[in-house]
């Protein structure tokens, strides 16, 4: 019997085990991030199960539909939002939450913030909930009803000081995130995560109900052959974006044209970009001068992952992770992916004098 192969099959690196191992390299870590992430994982598993039976359970369709028992059916994005909020509040580790589905930020009640007794009884209790989570509970919702991949995106900040969270704890540049990730509900369910040590992909084993490390140390290819954009907006684009796409389609000097791939679910489009390389863009246009995608829970987490995987993320003006958001639902244009492809769009912006 081949013991080495056997060990490979049976010594499963689950996501929780992976995060625990990584965190044990930091002597000051208390396991709080591991606990927080395990609650996010629970939310992802729940949404994955709901997505898989969406047709059966009639979860699809408009919020407000009623089912056969006359009960109101929740639309999948409303349901996903509730699941994540409840999971995060129950973690005892979350403080401020920002969800795409909630107009204002959510402050987790003090009683649900977990606390530990001080060694010295004269000290105040220390709250354990040092994390702020920004998330898009269901991304790509226009694709739900036709069975195309959708996802969840999240980013995690740590409170600036140890006290009660305030909105400025989340109105911070993406480079201050301590972790970011997404879960893709596709042909398999995959969670892709970075806790600042590269990007690692985990696939849900439905039999075990565990995410298993299947894609360690993901690196975005240095240069790609794919561009990904909603070309229906081309009429309204600025010159550098038009030029980039023109060159992608009609390259000079004997180069081969790029392929166009656009799913319309950011998670799926970014996942492909991480694996195959290329560029994903949602540029500004005349109708939407700030683009469409939201900084906090779409642009930042994806920019964080792409940089951690060796790529770049650019807004058309600056490095995406440097932007300081003024509002929790602020939008930003985004160009992200292979290092050299993003470099190309950056030079077009420089040459255009728009910078």
Toward ligand AHG, which CB reaches closer, 88 or 229?
A: 229
Q: Choosing among Mn ion, ligand AHG, none, which partner's interface includes residue 292 (Cβ < 5 to 8 Å by kind)?
A: ligand AHG
**What minimum distance in Å lies between the beta carbon of 262 and ligand AHG?**
7
Toward Mn ion, which CB reaches closer, 114 or 137?
A: 137
By CB under 5 A, residue 100 contacts Mn ion = yes
Q: Choosing among ligand AHG, Mn ion, none, which partner's interface includes residue 271 (Cβ < 5 to 8 Å by kind)?
A: none
SS3 category, 68:
coil
Q: Choosing among ligand AHG, Mn ion, none, which partner's interface includes residue 305 (Cβ < 5 to 8 Å by kind)?
A: none
Toward ligand AHG, which CB reaches closer, 198 or 264?
A: 264
Of residues 48-67, which lie at the interface with Mn ion (CB under 5 A)? none
Toward ligand AHG, which CB reaches closer, 114 or 140?
A: 140
Toward Mn ion, which CB reaches closer, 32 or 136?
A: 136
Distance (Å, rounded) from C-alpha 273 to C-alpha 262? 11
Q: Choosing among Mn ion, ligand AHG, none, which partner's interface includes residue 294 (Cβ < 5 to 8 Å by kind)?
A: none
DSSP codes of every residue in 16-46? HHHHHHHHTTSTT--SHHHHHHHHHHHHHHH
Give the residue carrying structure tokens 């440097």: 322
**What minimum distance in Å lies between the beta carbon of 301 and Mn ion?**
11
Residues within the interface to ligand AHG (CB under 6 A): 100, 136, 139-141, 230, 264-266, 282, 292
Distance from chain centroid for Cα 69: 36
By CB under 5 A, residue 269 contacts Mn ion = no
Q: Nearest CA to 300 among 200, 201, 182, 173?
A: 173
Write the CB contacts of 241 (distance below 8 Å, at least 6 apart in sequence): 229, 281, 283, 316, 345
Distance (Å, rounded) from C-alpha 126 to C-alpha 184? 36
Q: Nearest CA to 336 among 224, 214, 238, 199?
A: 224
Write the CB contacts of 276 (distance below 8 Å, at least 6 apart in sequence): 221, 224, 225, 226
Q: Give the residue nearest to Mn ion (CB).
A: 139
In degrees, rounded to 5, the angle at the alpha carbon of residue 108 between the alpha carbons of residues 106 and 111 is 160
Q: Choosing among Mn ion, ligand AHG, none, which partner's interface includes residue 32 (Cβ < 5 to 8 Å by kind)?
A: none
Contact assessment for residue 202 and residue 191, using Cβ atoms and an 8 Å cutoff:
yes
Toward Mn ion, which CB reaches closer, 45 or 75?
A: 75
Task: Choose one: 16-24, 99-107, 127-135, 209-217; the region binding Mn ion (CB under 5 A).
Answer: 99-107
**What minimum distance in Å lies between the beta carbon of 340 and ligand AHG?**
22
**What minimum distance in Å lies between the beta carbon of 353 and ligand AHG?**
28
Give the largest CA-CA distance in the chain.
Answer: 75
Give the chain's radius of gyration (CA, Å). 21
Of residues 132-151, which lie at the interface with Mn ion (CB under 5 A)? 136, 138-139
Toward Mn ion, which CB reaches closer, 92 or 333?
A: 333
Of residues 144-203, which lie at the interface with Mn ion (CB under 5 A)? none
* Tokens, residue 101: 């589905």
Toward ligand AHG, which CB reaches closer, 203 or 288?
A: 288
H or E stretch covering 156: strand 150-158
SS3 category, 337:
strand
Give the residue carrying structure tokens 């991480």: 274
* Tokens, residue 171: 């109105």
Toward ligand AHG, which CB reaches closer, 76 or 218?
A: 76
**What minimum distance in Å lies between the beta carbon of 128 and Mn ion?**
29
**What minimum distance in Å lies between the beta carbon of 264 and ligand AHG?**
5
Partner residues linked to 273 by β-bridges = none
Distance (Å, rounded) from C-alpha 196 to C-alpha 198? 6
Q: Choosing among Mn ion, ligand AHG, none, which partner's interface includes residue 230 (Cβ < 5 to 8 Å by kind)?
A: ligand AHG
Binding site for Mn ion (CB under 5 A): 100, 136, 138-139
């Amino acid at each position: 019997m081949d013991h080495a192969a056997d060990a490979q099959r049976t010594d499963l690196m689950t996501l929780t085990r992976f995060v625990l191992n990584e965190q044990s390299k930091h002597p000051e870590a208390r396991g709080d991030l591991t606990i927080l992430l395990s609650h996010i994982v629970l939310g992802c598993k729940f949404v994955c199960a709901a997505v898989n039976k969406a047709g059966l359970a009639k979860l699809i369709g408009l919020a407000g539909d009623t089912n056969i028992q006359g009960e109101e059916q929740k639309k999948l994005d409303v349901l996903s939002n509730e699941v994540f909020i409840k999971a995060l509040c129950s973690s005892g580790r979350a403080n401020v939450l920002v969800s795409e589905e909630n107009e204002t930020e959510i402050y987790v009640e003090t009683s649900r913030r977990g606390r530990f007794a001080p060694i010295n009884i004269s000290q105040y209790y220390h709250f354990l909930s040092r994390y702020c989570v920004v998330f898009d509970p269901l991304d790509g919702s226009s694709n739900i009803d036709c069975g195309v991949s959708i996802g969840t995106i999240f980013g995690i900040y740590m409170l600036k000081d140890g006290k009660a969270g305030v909105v400025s704890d989340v109105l911070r540049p993406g480079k201050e995130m301590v972790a970011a990730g997404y879960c893709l509900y596709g042909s398999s369910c995959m969670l892709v995560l970075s806790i600042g040590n590269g990007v690692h992909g985990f696939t849900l084993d439905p039999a075990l109900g565990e995410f298993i490390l299947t894609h360690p140390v993901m690196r975005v290819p240095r240069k790609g052959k794919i561009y990904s954009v909603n070309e229906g907006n081309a009429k309204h684009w600025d010159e550098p974006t038009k030029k980039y796409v023109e060159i992608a389609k009609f390259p000079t000097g004997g180069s081969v044209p790029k392929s166009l791939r656009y799913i319309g679910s950011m998670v799926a489009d970014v996942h492909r970009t991480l694996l195959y390389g290329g560029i994903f863009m949602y540029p500004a246009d005349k109708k939407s001068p700030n683009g469409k995608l939201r900084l906090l829970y779409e642009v930042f987490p994806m920019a964080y992952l792409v940089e951690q995987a060796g790529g770049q993320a650019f807004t058309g003006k600056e490095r995406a992770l440097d932007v300081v958001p003024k509002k929790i639902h602020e939008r930003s244009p985004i160009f992200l992916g292979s290092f050299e492809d993003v470099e190309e769009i950056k030079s077009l912006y420089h040459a255009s004098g728009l910078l």
